[in-house]
Homo-oligomer: A and B are copies of this chain.
Amino acid sequence: MRCLLTRLLPGAALGLFALTAAMAAEDIVLRGMGSFHVGGRIVEVSGKPVRTIVRQPGGPPSQLDPNGQYMVEQMYVQYFLPKNRKGKLPLLMWHGGGLTGVTYESTPDGREGWLNIFIRKGWDVYNSDAVERGRSGFASPDVWPSEPTFLPYADPFERFRIGDGAGSWNADPAKRRVLPENQFPVEAYENYMKQTVPRWLTTDDAIIAAYVALVDKICPCVILVHSQGGAFGFKVAEQRPDKIKAIVAIESATAGIVGKAAALKNTPILMVFGDYVDQHPRWAAFKKIDLEYAAAVRAGGGKVDVIYLPELGIKGNSHMMMQDKNNSQIAEVIQKWLAGKGLSN
């Protein structure tokens, strides 16, 4: 084994962004805020052998008996209820893969994220961490027989249309090949990577079950979904079409099940895509899947609007557009659509 450890720059200058940005705007007046967990189950692990593990590197081996009852597959949700409520329904924000609800909080460079922005627009916002991520916790290998996966440092830079695809990352910031007019705060990329968390590839059913539990608790509602969260969002909506009154899908990474799309005939859908989607095969492929799903919804009598931001003259948006420098501009595009559907005063 060989590990090269590189200390990061202290980043003190970046860190100050968070406070200055937050205090620049008007007060946020809440009639309530809090958190809760939904879903989950008690699992009883039994019949497993007692294992010998080393609890501390270099320390003595010790025994671990994994048998017993555990709480697993619950989901964490934090909510903020503005006093000046204008959204007619709760707005649920569901993040993408390898991330948590932090996606919607302060941006990596410390500006306000969509959580604050939509609270300020008068929405009751419920921001969650999908099962097995963040404050939802995760289960042991005795419950989930697969390993978590870890996101390499340069991966989102190349894959999320911050850099210009494979090979665009370089350890030297000056040599990174950033997309023209890129809106992502690349100078704070390190902070973005701090937001990432491991994920499993085998927990989709548990994640969907917890989202359904959330919908059953809080909705009728609007859901705003991003990337992998879209794959979950559309499938949950197919199961609870009467409770999900609108879907805003930000570059949904796969969508619902085409054969069930007609369930959404009464649920207006907005799909939003950033810049350079067609130039990057991975995103072109996701877009194709989304549009095929949109066609199926329409064929079932539903309504889907698709916005390509560059067609509105909004250029350079990455896959993480809720953190991009023009994130408030995009939030306003979404707000206008929601208001047009009669969902906000």
Interface residues, chain A, with chain B CB atoms under 8 Å away = 1-8, 10, 12, 15, 18-19, 21-23, 25, 27-38, 40-48, 53-57, 64, 66, 68-71, 74, 76, 78-79, 81, 83, 100-102, 105-106, 110, 112-113, 116, 129, 134-135, 137-140, 142-143, 145-154, 190-191, 193-198, 201-202, 213, 216-217
A56 partner, pick from B100, B110, B148, B202, beta carbons under 8 A: B202
Q: Which residue of B lies closest to A56 (CB)?
A: B202
Max chain B C-beta neighbours (<10 A), residue from A137, A198, A201:
A137
* In the complex, chain B residues whose CB is within 8 Å of the CB of A30: 27-30
* In the complex, chain B residues whose CB is within 8 Å of the CB of A100: 135
A146 partner, pick from B25, B37, B41, B57, beta carbons under 8 A: B57
> What are 21 of the A-B contact pairs (CB < 8 Å)?
A2-B46, A2-B47, A6-B43, A8-B42, A15-B38, A22-B31, A22-B32, A22-B34, A27-B30, A28-B29, A28-B33, A34-B106, A54-B146, A55-B201, A57-B146, A66-B150, A70-B151, A134-B135, A135-B197, A137-B194, A138-B198
**Cβ contact within 8 Å between B28 and A153:** no
A194 partner, pick from B37, B142, B195, beta carbons under 8 A: B37
**Cβ contact within 8 Å between B28 and A191:** no
Max chain B C-beta neighbours (<10 A), residue from A5, A53, A135, A138:
A135
Bound state CA distance, A5 and B31, in angstroms? 39
**Cβ contact within 8 Å between B153 and A46:** no
**Cβ contact within 8 Å between B8 and A116:** no
**Cβ contact within 8 Å between B193 and A110:** no
**Cβ contact within 8 Å between B152 and A70:** yes
**Cβ contact within 8 Å between A15 and B3:** no
A41 partner, pick from B8, B35, B37, beta carbons under 8 A: B8
**Cβ contact within 8 Å between B135 and A140:** no
Asked whether A35 and B202 contact (CB < 8 A) given A23-B81, A42-B8, A46-B3, the answer is: no
